[in-house]
Amino acid sequence: MNMRFKFLTLAVTVIAAAPAASAFEMPSAANSLAPAMSIANNDNLITVAATSGTAAQNAIEKLGATAMAAISDKDMGAAKKKALFHQLLSQNFDMNTIGKFAAGRYWRQATPAQQAQFQSLYEQMVISVYTRRFDNYAGQTFRVTGNRVDESGDVVVSSVVQGGGAPVNVDWRLRNKGNGPRIIDVMVEGVSMAVTQRNDFAGIVEQGGGTFDALIEYLKKGGTSDVQK
């Protein structure tokens, strides 16, 4: 299995599930021609004052250490794995921002009830997919190399994954909304996982006649070929 693909499981980079055509991305049910954009520039999001680079870097280092320790624990059962992923999501990822961005322009078409249902199903999809892939790791190393504040005011933490092939460069975008640094995007070799997920979901809606219900039904079935019912 390609190490770039494996890394997304290790890093719990659930915010940007991508088409199966790319070796390091989560499988998906559709491709889309929707235009790419950066999550940092999404008009629906409000960028607040950046968290300190040190706090953001420490958060990524802790996340990596936790994931690596869990992966090496061969006695961890499926229920504990699922609980761990839920905890990592809650503590490290801004799932509300991620989910809203992934829904794209269709978010505004949804009712409050549909939005709440989407967010719940999206998180369930993320947990299910990565729990199933949890056992696919062995021998990789994860090293944080630095951080910077970009033009949007977000902190970008750089890291490298090594093992079984060429090094993979991974950048983590974090934003502080008052509860500490939270991940809102992950860029693997320069490819934004959040943007890829957004484009994929746009394809799902378009294939379903342009309704938000099409996306909800897709997520009810599991959201990817890994967990489709």
Give the max Cα distance, the chain.
46
Q: How far is 56 from 165, CA to CA, in rounded Å?
A: 28
Instruction: Enter the tokens of residue 9.
Output: 């499981």
Lowest mean pLDDT among 3-7, 127-131, 208-212: 3-7
- pLDDT averaged over every residue in the chain: 75
Please state the domain extents for the chain: 3-20+45-220
Region class of 12: left (phi > 0), else alpha (psi between -120 and 50), else beta: left
What fold is seen in the domain 3-20+45-220? Nuclear Transport Factor 2; Chain: A, (3.10.450)
Instruction: Enter the tokens of residue 154.
Output: 């977000």
- Do residues 210 and 201 make contact, with C-beta atoms less than 8 angstroms apart? no
How many C-alpha atoms does 163 have within 13 Å on its Cβ side? Answer: 15
pLDDT band at 31 (very low <50, low <70, confident <90, very high): very low
The helix (run of H) or strand (run of E) holding residue 69 is helix 53-71
DSSP code string of 91-160: HHB-HHHHHHHHHGGGGGGS-HHHHHHHHHHHHHHHHHHHHHTGGG--S-EEEEEEEEE-TTS-EEEEEE
Per-residue pLDDT reduced to its tens digit, 100-133: 999 999 999 999 999 999 999 998 888 777 666 6
Instruction: Enter the tokens of residue 180.
Output: 């500490």
Q: Who wins on pLDDT, 56 or 70?
A: 56
- Do residues 122 and 16 make contact, with C-beta atoms less than 8 angstroms apart? no
Indicate the SS3 state at residue 83.
helix
